[in-house]
Amino acid sequence: MNLQMRLKDEWRLGLSEGRDETMLSVIHTLQMQGQTQKQIVETIALMQKSSLAAAQRYYEQVAQSDNRGEE
């Protein structure tokens, strides 16, 4: 793999990780405000302009990665 492709891949990975950290912060904030998981998933779907199913999968993925960080 050439340097330019590797840098582009690393840049994309950095954006993905930053997005996940931001979304995790949003999820925690919504939970502290007393929103249910269903409401949070609906908010994620609106924010990401995705389906509820995709938002649910993303919620579970982000929540699971957060739980691994606490172990």
Separation CA 47–CA 41 (nearest Å): 10
Query: SS3 string of the chain?
Result: CCHHHHHHHHHHHHHHHHHHHHHHHHHHHHHHCCCCHHHHHHHHHHHHCCCHHHHHHHHHHHHHHHHHHHC
pLDDT level of residue 71 (50, 70, 90 thresholds): very low
Average pLDDT of the segment spanning 12-17: 72
pLDDT level of residue 62 (50, 70, 90 thresholds): confident
- Average pLDDT of the chain is 83
Write down the domain spans for the chain. 21-70
Helix or strand or coil: residue 61? helix
